Amino acid sequence: MGTALLQRGGCFLLCLSLLLLGCWAELGSGLEFPGAEGQWTRFPKWNACCESEMSFQLKTRSARGLVLYFDDEGFCDFLELILTRGGRLQLSFSIFCAEPATLLADTPVNDGAWHSVRIRRQFRNTTLFIDQVEAKWVEVKSKRRDMTVFSGLFVGGLPPELRAAALKLTLASVREREPFKGWIRDVRVNSSQALPVDSGEVKLDDEPSNSGGGSPCEAGEEGEGGVCLNGGVCSVVDDQAVCDCSRTGFRGKDCSQGKADEARAPGASAGRGAGRQGEAGPGRCMGPACSGECSK
């Protein structure tokens, strides 16, 4: 009788846990990463040895941070995805202790908006997709084509005990990476929902809050359409909006200054104004041809 009750109780707890996890997946809740030291989330091992892919959605304002990492626990193989160089995603991986292969995305993703990220593994090749628009791939020059994976899939940071155990990390420099700050949701492996196993200093957030009142790149109170004008590209650096005007033909902090403004420069305006005043009103005649005062 007692054994049967225990079994029923265990089944009840298991079903309750699965129900809660199912609700988490159904609601599309995001994981909020505060960017604190010691934060981390571990998902089940992604067996990325041969042909496989994983995806997630990301929202951040930070220009740097560790997004995800996994390895073979201190031997040769690893894969790392970080934010760097003004909020762009950089992917690095190695197989069989070969020289790591690295690719850097062109599009910054630290604009405070949600972005879709997908990683496709195909033996020696790895492809990074961003928002179904940008796709880059890179190949590692390895004698072995299959990647070995032993660790779980770490997202947003590494557990303190793992950071302290250098021999258990294949890529030693990953310990020095800044923790990710922002939100991650809808983690999938081969199109199936992946649920976190455990975590530290990370909270579940149904609707990511925005204590700053919106992304610095979003439109102002009057709804102008964005901080950067005339097609300028906005990115966030240290929680500040920065406009890239290099491809617009305009300049200035918000890409609002161009040739039209140069034509209206104070010096040019003064010159045109003086000419108009001379034509429209009285004045003095200047020059060798003048024999007297100018007529009104």
> Domain extents for the chain?
26-205, 227-257
Supply the pLDDT for residue 43: 98
- pLDDT at residue 132, rounded to an integer: 85
- Asked whether the CA dihedral 219, 223, 226, 228 is positive or negative, the reply is negative
For the stretch 47-75, pLDDT in tens is 999 999 999 999 999 999 999 999 999 99
User: 274 pLDDT band (50/70/90 cuts)?
Assistant: very low
DSSP code of residue 112: S
Length of the chain: 296
Instruction: Give the three-class secondary structure for 288.
Output: coil
Return the C-alpha torsion angle 201, 207, 209, 215, nearest 10.
Answer: 120
pLDDT at 152: 97
The pLDDT, as a whole number, for residue 3 is 45
Quote the pLDDT of residue 210: 45
Tokens representing 191 are 């199109």
132 is written with which tokens?
Answer: 């179904």
The dihedrals phi and psi of 4, each to the nearest 5 degrees, come to: -65, -40
- The confidence band for 78, taking pLDDT boundaries of 50, 70 and 90, is very high
| Contact indicator for 117, 10 with CB cutoff of 8 Å | no
Highest mean pLDDT among 19-23, 241-245, 270-274: 241-245
Per the prediction, the chain carries an average pLDDT of: 80
Residue 232 confidence (pLDDT): 85
49 alpha carbon, distance to own chain's centre? 26
26-205 and 227-257 share one CATH topology? no
- Taken in order 159, 191, 26, 184, the sign of the CA dihedral is positive
pLDDT, residue 294, reads 44
Residue 143 DSSP label: S
The pLDDT assigned to 8 comes to 53
176-198 pLDDT, tens digit each: 999 999 999 999 999 999 999 99
Write the pLDDT tens digit of every residue in 125-166. Answer: 999 999 988 999 999 999 999 999 999 999 999 999 999 987
pLDDT tens column, 194-216: 999 999 999 987 544 444 445 67
Pick the most confident of 15-19, 90-94, 232-236, 277-281.
Answer: 90-94
CATH C-level class of 227-257? mainly beta
pLDDT at 266 over 70: no
- pLDDT score of 64: 97
pTM of the model: 0.66
- Residue 71 tokens read as 């390895």
End-to-end CA distance of the chain: 119
Task: Compute φ and ψ for 187, nearest 5 degrees.
Answer: -75, 125
Architecture of domain 26-205: Sandwich (2.60)
Q: Is the pLDDT reported for residue 7 higher than 90?
A: no
Is pLDDT above 70 for 236? yes
**pLDDT, mean of residues 33-37:** 95
